[in-house]
């Protein structure tokens, strides 16, 4: 089976490509750095020739409201059009748990637009909504930082390891199209402020995390359950503490990693 991973050089894409190749699949890692763009269409027809499955794990280079909307709308329209022409039988896309509860953010409005284009297309699809990646917790803290202080709300939070995300996306992509949205999440639930505090402490980051119910998550208000999945979400196996132990071991002596 030929599988094209669009965004195959990214955090999830590169892990996914490796896993699928490990299962003996013919995999094309498509991205601008490999001469394939879902925005301009460059290299797309060639990459998709003879493919059974296309997996979209792209992300927009800019998260500014208009730019991110333009990226996901243009990219998704192009992918669906080129995939239809190539006879691709399964379009798989990675989205985010709680997207419809986070629409104060331009990023999530763009992810919802992406999902809606997929649902309206003639191609059989599976949309996979994942919770936040463990690797993303530092960036959430960075966004809530002023000086040496991080303010975050105590919202419920069920993140997962990028490795588990890639494993679940690969497994679902090798199955039949579900014509539905499925959710994947981590095995444990935390409070966002508490997890950020543990993450920063483990990486010896001196910033103090202050619990503030009125603080924003990536610039928007979040309700207590906005970020958590439904009860039927498929759960990853990697526990945060184990990921943290492994990740802090890889810290170069000269600085902190981009966790
Ligand atoms: N962060 C989270 O916690 C989270 C949670 C749930 C879901 N997600 C979703 O997961 C997806 C993947 O995230 P990620 O963190 O793996 O992204 P990432 O590391 O930023 O990688 C983005 C990928 O998109 C590619 N790309 C950019 N512009 C492109 C274009 N015009 N044509 C084709 N490919 C293009 C990049 O290629 P180059 O390397 O060549 O630039 C790269 O391979 C995103 O859609 C995101 O919304 C994220």
Summarised one tens digit per residue, pLDDT across range 125-169 is 999 999 999 999 999 999 999 999 999 999 999 999 999 999 999
CA 12 / ligand 1 centre spacing (Å): 7
pLDDT recorded at residue 252: 60
CA angle 63, 67, 70 (to 5 degrees): 125
Give yes or no for a contact between 153 and 193, defined as CB atoms under 8 angstroms apart. Answer: yes
H-run or E-run covering 2? strand 2-6
pLDDT recorded at residue 251: 65
Instruction: Looking at the CA of residue 114, tell me the nearest atom of ligand 1.
Output: 45
| Rounded distance between C-alpha atoms, residue 155 and residue 190, angstroms | 8
CA 10 / ligand 1 centre spacing (Å): 5
14, 47, 48, 57, best to mutate for ligand 1 pocket (most atoms within 8 Å of CB): 57
pLDDT recorded at residue 250: 81
- Model confidence pTM above 0.85: yes
**Please, which residues bridge with residue 146 across strands?**
149
CA 8 / ligand 1 centre spacing (Å): 8
pLDDT recorded at residue 257: 45
Q: Measured from the CB, is residue 229 less than 6 Å from ligand 1? A: no
Residue ranges of the chain whose pLDDT lies below 70? 251-259
pLDDT recorded at residue 258: 42
**Strand 190-191 to strand 149-152: parallel, antiparallel, or no bridges (unpaired)?**
unpaired
Q: Measured from the CB, is residue 177 less than 6 Å from ligand 1? A: no
Instruction: Looking at the CA of residue 12, tell me the nearest atom of ligand 1.
Output: 16
| Rounded distance between C-alpha atoms, residue 5 and residue 47, angstroms | 10
Phi, psi of 234, deg, nearest 5: -80, 130
Q: Using CA atoms of 66, 67, 69, 72 in order, give the dihedral in degrees to the nearest 10.
A: 170
């Amino acid at each position: 089976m030929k599988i094209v991973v669009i965004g195959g050089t990214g955090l999830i894409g590169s892990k996914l490509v490796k896993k699928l190749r490990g299962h003996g699949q013919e995999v094309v890692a498509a991205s601008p750095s490999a001469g394939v763009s879902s925005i301009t269409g460059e290299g797309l027809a060639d990459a998709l020739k003879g493919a059974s499955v296309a997996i979209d794990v792209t992300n927009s280079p800019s998260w500014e409201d208009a730019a991110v909307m333009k990226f996901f709308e243009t990219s998704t329209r192009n992918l669906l059009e080129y995939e239809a022409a190539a006879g691709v039988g399964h379009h798989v896309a990675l989205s985010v748990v709680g997207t419809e509860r986070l629409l104060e953010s331009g990023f999530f409005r763009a992810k919802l637009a992406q999902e809606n284009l997929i649902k309206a297309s003639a191609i059989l699809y599976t949309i996979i909504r994942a919770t936040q990646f463990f690797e993303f917790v530092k960036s959430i803290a960075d966004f809530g930082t002023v000086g040496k202080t991080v303010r975050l709300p105590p919202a419920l939070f069920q993140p997962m390891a990028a490795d588990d995300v890639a494993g679940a996306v690969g497994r679902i992509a090798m199955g039949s199209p579900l014509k539905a949205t499925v959710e994947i999440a981590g095995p444990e639930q935390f409070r966002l402020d508490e997890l950020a505090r543990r993450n920063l402490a483990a990486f010896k980051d001196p910033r103090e995390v202050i619990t503030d119910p009125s603080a924003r998550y990536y610039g928007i208000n979040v309700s207590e359950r906005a970020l958590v999945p439904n009860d039927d979400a498929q759960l990853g196996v990697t526990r945060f503490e184990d990921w943290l132990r492994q990740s802090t071991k890889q810290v170069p002596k000269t600085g902190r990693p981009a966790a």
